[in-house]
């Protein structure tokens, strides 16, 4: 009887979706065009309600399914769900501070190479722990780390490189991976904006997120797939996986799933630290950790979203290429983005950098007035933000290589618009036409 009732409830959810949420595949000129948004169907809503009927409010069966499926998709062995992409970056970095890593563990005062032209939570864990971020410049029009500066950034305190693939466009993985291997550095791939991107290295194609020692994803609504809030940390390394799980789950030494006891078979007969012999392993802590798990309801949405990811990636690529074709004749006025060599980006957005004589701020204001949502390339230059005021005044806590000239150009002249799967050709045409209209009116003729 209960199974019949569940089936009836889920059937009604399907009906509700069709009545209230099924998208109308038409665009009315003048309607606001968001830079990103959730794209979902009845399967996502059915999964959400199905998980809620279990009333298992923490991680459960859907979490396990998602972790296994995402690991398989990316091409890694292990995946751990967390409650956000920012938490994923926190866990990824903190895992590398574990004493279990011996001499390779990051300690306070050690250095981590990164960039200032990105999202702050790629850098925040480094600073909050007490390590030293070393900022290098980026390149335009790929908007990723300038690998020519890596040698200058290296010191005898360098332990890791932690950088993101910018808006789906991968950084030069081959060169970065070689650099890290040569100098025995950890590599954290912030893959939050690039899920589904393919990259070729040494004749083999793989997904971004499979090349680093640890990688991260975000499932906030604008991202490639969503579960509302959520993120993931993934790795091929069994020891790193165990450490990641420990930091995610309160810092505990035990690896039992929630509600499960004595997986190790020696719950009451181990010796840990200076605790009395036989102290309950479920309450032994090998790290100063957190509780950053998701609910199974979030994971349930992620499971159905992940099945749609290949079609989402195809749509993003198609939309990006269409915008590029519409704006290619504007290159005397703006710099258009270029994919990294040996890559097939799963684009998160379409970056535009205005050339001399064009005001980025005025163009953005014009587009917003026309109903086109825009975004900056996140922090632009993170070092210019109020969160760095104290560190900048004291002149310590970080290092900068060169003058970050391209980073400042991005801060002053770059913005982006959306290519998410909910875009229609009419929406893409409207955006391209308005950009051209502005360039025509304020900077000469553009066809």
Q: Are strands 399-400 and 132-136 parallel, antiparallel or unpaired?
A: parallel
- Note whether 314 and 282 are within 8 A (CB): no
Dist CA 262 CA 10 (whole Å)? 36
Instruction: Pull the structure tokens for residue 227.
Output: 């579960």
In the chain, % of residues over pLDDT 90: 91
Span(s) in the chain for CATH 3.90.1150.10: 309-441
Q: How confident is the model at residue 27 (pLDDT cuts 50, 70, 90)?
A: confident
Residue 201's beta-bridge partner residues? 204
State the catalytic residue, choosing from 223, 241, 281, 287. 223
- Note whether 7 and 53 are within 8 A (CB): no
Q: How many residues does the chain have?
A: 447
**CA-based angle 189:85:120, to the nearest 5?**
75
> What is the CB neighbour count within 10 angstroms for residue 297?
23
Q: What CATH number has the domain spanning 309-441?
A: 3.90.1150.10
Q: How confident is the model at residue 392 (pLDDT cuts 50, 70, 90)?
A: confident
**CA-based angle 136:139:144, to the nearest 5?**
75
Q: How confident is the model at residue 1 (pLDDT cuts 50, 70, 90)?
A: low
In tens, the pLDDT along 142-201 reads 999 999 999 999 999 999 999 999 999 999 999 999 999 999 999 999 999 999 999 999
Q: What CATH number has the domain spanning 45-298?
A: 3.40.640.10
Dist CA 170 CA 166 (whole Å)? 7
Cα separations (Å) of 65 from 62, 69, 81, 304? 5, 6, 11, 10
The 8-class DSSP code of residue 55 comes to T
Q: Please name which of 220, 227, 217 lies closest in space to residue 70, comparing C-alpha atoms.
A: 217
Active site residue 178: no
In tens, the pLDDT along 54-80 reads 999 999 999 999 999 999 999 999 999
| Residues sharing a CB contact under 8 Å with residue 181, sequence separation 6 or more, in sequence order | none
- Note whether 408 and 446 are within 8 A (CB): no
Calculate the average pLDDT of the chain.
95
**Within 13 Å and on the Cβ side, how many CA atoms surround 141?**
15
Dist CA 42 CA 202 (whole Å)? 41
- List the end-to-end C-alpha distance of the chain, in Å, as a whole number: 66
| Residues sharing a CB contact under 8 Å with residue 40, sequence separation 6 or more, in sequence order | 21, 226, 301, 305
Dist CA 232 CA 226 (whole Å)? 12
Q: How far is CA 328 from the centre of its chain?
A: 28
Task: Give me the sheet containing 334-335, strands edge to edge.
Answer: 334-335, 349-354, 414-418
The 8-class DSSP code of residue 118 comes to S
Span(s) in the chain for CATH 3.40.640.10: 45-298
Dist CA 59 CA 13 (whole Å)? 23
Backbone φ and ψ for 261, nearest 5 degrees, come out as: -120, 145
In tens, the pLDDT along 214-243 reads 999 999 999 999 999 999 999 999 999 999
**Within 13 Å and on the Cβ side, how many CA atoms surround 353?**
20
Per-residue model confidence (pLDDT) at position 300: 98
Taking residues 21-34, report their average pLDDT: 85
The DSSP code sequence of 375-403 is B-STTSSGGGSGGGHHHHHHT-S-EE-TT
| Residues sharing a CB contact under 8 Å with residue 134, sequence separation 6 or more, in sequence order | 111, 112, 113, 114, 153, 155, 158, 398, 399, 400, 401
- Note whether 408 and 149 are within 8 A (CB): no
> What is the CB neighbour count within 10 angstroms for residue 17?
17
Query: How much is the pTM?
Result: 0.95
No. of helices (H) and no. of strands (E), the chain: 13, 14
| Residues sharing a CB contact under 8 Å with residue 209, sequence separation 6 or more, in sequence order | 74, 75, 76, 189, 191, 194, 195, 215, 216, 217, 234
- Note whether 312 and 224 are within 8 A (CB): yes
Per-residue model confidence (pLDDT) at position 445: 46
Q: How confident is the model at residue 262 (pLDDT cuts 50, 70, 90)?
A: confident
Per-residue model confidence (pLDDT) at position 396: 83
In the chain, % of residues over pLDDT 70: 98
Dist CA 211 CA 214 (whole Å)? 8
- Note whether 189 and 208 are within 8 A (CB): yes
Task: Give me the sheet containing 204-207, strands edge to edge.
Answer: 204-207, 198-201, 343-344
């Amino acid at each position: 009887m209960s199974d019949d009732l569940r089936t009836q409830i889920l059937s009604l959810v399907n009906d509700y979706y069709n009545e209230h949420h099924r998208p109308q595949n038409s665009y009315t000129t003048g309607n606001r065009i968001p830079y990103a948004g959730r794209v979902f169907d009845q399967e996502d809503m059915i999964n959400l309600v199905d998980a809620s009927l279990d009333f298992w409010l923490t991680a459960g069966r859907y979490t396990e399914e998602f972790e296994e499926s995402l690991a398989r998709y990316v091409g890694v062995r292990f995946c751990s769900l967390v409650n956000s992409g920012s938490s994923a970056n926190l866990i990824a970095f903190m895992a590398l501070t574990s004493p279990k890593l011996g001499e390779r563990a990051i300690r306070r005062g050690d250095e981590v190479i990164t960039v200032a032209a990105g999202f702050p939570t790629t850098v925040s864990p480094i600073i909050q722990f007490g390590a030293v971020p070393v900022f290098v410049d980026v390149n335009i029009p790929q908007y990723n780390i300038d690998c020519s500066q890596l040698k200058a950034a290296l010191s005898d305190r360098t332990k890791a490189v932690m950088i993101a693939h910018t808006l789906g466009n991968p950084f030069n993985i081959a060169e970065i991976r070689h650099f890290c291997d040569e100098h025995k550095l950890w590599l954290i791939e912030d893959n939050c904006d690039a899920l589904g991107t393919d990259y070729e290295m040494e004749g083999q194609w793989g997904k971004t997120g499979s090349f680093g020692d640890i990688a991260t994803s975000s499932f906030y609504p604008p991202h490639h797939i969503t579960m509302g809030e959520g993120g993931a940390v993934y790795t091929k390394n069994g020891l790193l996986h165990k450490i990641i799980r420990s930091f995610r789950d309160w810092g505990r030494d035990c690896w039992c799933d929630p509600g499960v006891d004595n997986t190790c078979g020696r719950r009451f007969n181990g010796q840990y630290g200076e605790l009395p012999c036989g102290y309950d392993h479920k309450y032994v802590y090998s790290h100063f950790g957190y509780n950053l798990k998701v609910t199974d309801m979030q994971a349930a949405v992620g499971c159905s979203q992940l099945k749609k990811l290949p079609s989402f990636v195809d749509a993003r690529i198609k939309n990006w290429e269409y915008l590029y074709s519409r704006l290619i004749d504007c290159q005397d006025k703006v710099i258009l983005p270029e994919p990294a060599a040996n890559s097939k980006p799963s684009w998160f957005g379409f970056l535009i950098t205005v050339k001399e004589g064009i005001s980025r701020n005025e163009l953005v204001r014009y587009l917003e007035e026309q109903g086109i949502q825009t975004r900056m390339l996140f922090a632009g230059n993170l070092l210019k933000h109020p969160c760095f005021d104290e560190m900048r005044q004291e002149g310590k806590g970080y290092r900068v290589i060169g003058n970050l000239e391209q980073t400042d150009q991005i801060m002053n002249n770059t913005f982006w618009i959306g290519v998410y799967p909910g875009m229609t050709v009419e929406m893409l045409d409207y955006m391209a036409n308005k950009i051209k209209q502005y360039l025509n009116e304020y900077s000469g003729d553009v066809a």
